[in-house]
């Protein structure tokens, strides 16, 4: 039986995907990524590159001032945001938001906003479900923000074909339909895009396996499980919309991988919901 490729098979998916090439990061994003990875880069230099783009600047300030970060006062400069959030967090947030902008589809603004709202909520809740290091939590947040990005690639490249898969009033596209029509599902194409945009494996691999976290590489299956559980909860709560109105099928191994008790999860949901509801407004813009 032929096995579906995972994010680590980068390049293979593009060759079997017969719609079009995956989009590349804009030049400014590429510059920023090169700067932040270079050892000699300093905060002010990075801030300068971000400030060259007014939309990118507005995005950074909106995100850093959103209730998720609980800043005691309004942060007004990009340089301060970079200092507070850390270079990696800012880089990943900007690249994620740019990915959404690159995939903007005229006439589909509502779909984009709904998906962003859904995804931001999943990222936030998944981050809170993670018990690991700060780095692991940050990777979880970004992987959560991007987990369903593959749906946008289908919509952008084959709008008619993908819309056709929506089952009338039910507004849902199954992964089986995606695989049948495109040769892969939104997890795989999303993971491939993340690798192409230079996201590391702890972010790309969970995107590729967010519906079946036990299939992810062992080092990344905890992040995938956190996103999987958060996705189901956010679907259940009806925050945003991912293009699928049903609560997803549950991977029974996810609880064991996550090692979070039902009582803990209940408390985390309660605490996260307060912020998710408060932040609905800041969700609505990318």
Q: Which residues bind Fe ion (CB under 5 A)?
A: 148, 231, 242
The CA-atom distances, in angstroms, between 221 and each of 9, 146, 216, 263 are 17, 16, 5, 22
d(CA 282, CA 268): 21
Considering beta carbons, is residue 79 or 185 the nearer one to Fe ion? 185
> What are the backbone dihedrals phi and psi of residue 46, each rounded to the nearest 5 degrees, phi first?
-65, -40
Considering beta carbons, is residue 205 or 231 the nearer one to Fe ion? 231
**Closest approach of Cβ 212 to Fe ion, in Å?**
11
Considering beta carbons, is residue 139 or 178 the nearer one to Fe ion? 178
Q: What angle do CA 67, 227, 10 make, to 5 degrees?
A: 115
**Closest approach of Cβ 83 to Fe ion, in Å?**
32
Q: Which residue has the CB atom at the shortest distance from Fe ion?
A: 242
d(CA 28, CA 82): 17
Structure-block tokens of residue 188: 């795989």
**Closest approach of Cβ 237 to Fe ion, in Å?**
12
**Closest approach of Cβ 260 to Fe ion, in Å?**
19
Considering beta carbons, is residue 64 or 122 the nearer one to Fe ion? 122
**Closest approach of Cβ 132 to Fe ion, in Å?**
21
Residue carrying the six token digits 């191994």: 253
Considering beta carbons, is residue 229 or 257 the nearer one to Fe ion? 229
Among 264, 191, 196, smallest CA distance to 30 is for 196
Q: What angle do CA 181, 199, 187 make, to 5 degrees?
A: 25
């Amino acid at each position: 039986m032929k096995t579906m490729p995972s994010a680590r098979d980068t390049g293979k998916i593009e060759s079997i995907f017969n719609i079009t090439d995956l989009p590349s990061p804009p030049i400014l994003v590429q510059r920023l990524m090169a700067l932040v990875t270079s050892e000699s880069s300093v905060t002010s230099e990075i801030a300068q590159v971000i400030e060259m783009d007014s939309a990118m600047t507005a995005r950074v300030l909106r995100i850093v001032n959103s209730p998720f970060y609980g800043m005691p006062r309004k942060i007004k400069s990009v340089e301060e945001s970079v200092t507070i959030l850390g270079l990696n967090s800012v880089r990943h947030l900007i690249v994620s938001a740019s990915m959404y902008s690159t995939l903007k589809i005229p006439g589909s603004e509502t779909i984009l906003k709904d998906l962003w709202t859904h995804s931001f909520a999943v990222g936030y809740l998944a981050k809170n479900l993670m018990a690991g290091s700060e780095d692991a939590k940050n990777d979880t947040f970004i992987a959560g923000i991007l987990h369903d990005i593959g749906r946008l690639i289908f919509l952008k490249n084959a709008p008619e074909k993908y819309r056709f898969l929506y089952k009338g009033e039910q507004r849902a596209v199954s992964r089986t339909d995606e695989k049948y029509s495109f040769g892969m599902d939104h997890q795989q194409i999303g993971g491939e895009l993340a690798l192409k945009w230079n996201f590391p494996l702890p972010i790309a691999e969970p995107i590729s396996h967010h519906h079946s976290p036990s299939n992810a590489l062992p080092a990344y299956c905890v992040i995938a499980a956190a996103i999987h559980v958060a996705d189901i909860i956010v679907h259940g709560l009806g925050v945003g919309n991912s293009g699928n109105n049903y609560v997803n099928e549950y991977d029974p191994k996810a609880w064991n991988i996550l090692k979070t008790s039902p009582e803990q999860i209940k408390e985390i949901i309660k605490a996260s919901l307060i912020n998710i509801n408060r932040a609905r407004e800041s969700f609505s813009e990318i």
